[in-house]
Amino acid sequence: MIADVATRWNSSFYAWARLIKLKSYIQALLVELMNSSETDAKKDGKHLEEIMLTSNEWDLLQELISIIGPFEEAPNILAEKNM
């Protein structure tokens, strides 16, 4: 799990990037839970559905990653050039 840490700006970037990578698994889990015959699983599915990102929110995360990505990579590139 990658968590957002207030004192490290790039922790948001890493958390968002991981979330995008897990998107298809999260969506599959939602379907699995909602189709379950177990009451607790359905309850978990409904909760996940309530907090699930919308299509626009997923798109926004992807755009933010594209925009912020070069700023995260810059220190590594500069460090390599100074070696």
Q: Which residue has the tokens 């990658």?
A: 2
The Cβ of residue 2 has, within 10 Å, a number of other Cβ atoms equal to: 13
The tally of domains found in the chain comes to 1
Mean pLDDT along residues 15-36: 96
- Answer whether residue 2 is part of any domain: no
| Its pTM surpasses 0.85 | no
- Answer whether residue 1 is part of any domain: no
Contacts of 33 (CB under 8 A, 6+ apart): 41, 42, 44, 45, 48
Give me the domain span that covers residue 65: 9-81
* pLDDT surpasses 80 at 69: yes
Extract the tokens encoding 57: 């929110």
- H or E element that contains 48: helix 39-51
* pLDDT surpasses 80 at 7: no
Taking the C-alpha atoms of residue 8 and residue 14, their distance in angstroms, rounded to an integer, is 10
- The per-residue pLDDT for 72 is 82
- Answer whether residue 58 is part of any domain: yes
- The per-residue pLDDT for 71 is 86
- The per-residue pLDDT for 74 is 73
Taking the C-alpha atoms of residue 24 and residue 35, their distance in angstroms, rounded to an integer, is 17
- The per-residue pLDDT for 16 is 92
